[in-house]
Structure 1
Amino acid sequence: MIDSITQISSLSPTRNLKELVETSSSLNGTLAPGENAGMNFASVLGGMATDTMNSLKFAEVKSFEGIQGKANTREVVDAVLQAQQSLNTAIALRDKIVNAYLEVTKMSI
């Protein structure tokens, strides 16, 4: 794991936000209201869900490699902890979305 770290920003839990900021800053504001800007809330959530699933699958593979003796303990622990962090983030995001939905449904019209 230490060898794969090339920048200090790779340790940040917001490392994927750099792409979002670059994409949103490249928009010049010439879109009409309701026009698709190429990145929407659903695509961001879908990408995060895909990244979480990939992290969980990678941890599972590393766990099996550790059992077979093909991976050292450090690699297995790092993969499992990354998967745990991704899953906790996904669960927290889900809870926030559900709470926001419930608040909206409580509003009177």
Structure 2
Amino acid sequence: MLDALTSVSLRGTAATAGPSAAGTASTRAVAEGDFSNILADISGQAISSLKGAETTAISGIQGKASVQQVVQTIMAAEETLQTALAVRDKVVAAYQEISRLAI
């Protein structure tokens, strides 16, 4: 998830730096993507993080994963969920602000 957010910040850097300092192909690919694709990618990464934490927790219950590994993945999933909720709150607030604009 943080990789996608870093890519978003690199998008502005590549646009202002010019073609000589354009960077890698991944930066160019992100620059060509639109906002909905970026949000879809970030939400997909968040879902995979939560599913990975669930899988690790089940492995921990079965005795296949250590307690430390379970706690680390659960904490990472919790952080991902909190980030996703914060982004959702900002999107909803922006939508409400736009809906209040006089036409």
TM-score band w.r.t. shorter chain: 0.7 to 0.9
Q: Does 1:77 align with 2:71?
A: yes
Q: Corresponding residue for 2:82?
A: 88
Inter-CA distance 22–80: structure 2 relative to 1 (3 Å threshold): same
Q: Per the alignment, in what secondary structure is the counterpart of residue 65 of structure 2?
A: coil
Paired AA for residue 44 in structure 2? T
TM-score (ref. length: structure 2): 0.76
Following superposition, the deviation at residue 88 of structure 1 comes to: 0.6
Q: Identify unmatched segments of 5+ residues in structure 1.
A: 1-12, 29-36
Following superposition, the deviation at residue 20 of structure 1 comes to: 3.3
Inter-CA distance 22–98: structure 2 relative to 1 (3 Å threshold): closer
Q: Count matched residues.
A: 89
Q: Does 1:20 align with 2:8?
A: yes
Q: Does 1:46 align with 2:74?
A: no
Report if aligned partners of 2:49, 2:77 keep a CA contact under 8 Å in 1. yes
Q: Corresponding residue for 1:58?
A: 52
State the alpha-carbon separation in 1 of the partners of residues 57 and 37 from structure 2. 30
Q: Identify unmatched segments of 5+ residues in structure 2.
A: 20-30
Inter-CA distance 105–22: structure 2 relative to 1 (3 Å threshold): closer
- 1:39-91 deviation line (CA, Å, top 9, x unaligned): 11001100110010000000000000000110000100010011110011001
Q: Does 1:100 align with 2:88?
A: no
Paired AA for residue 71 in structure 1? A
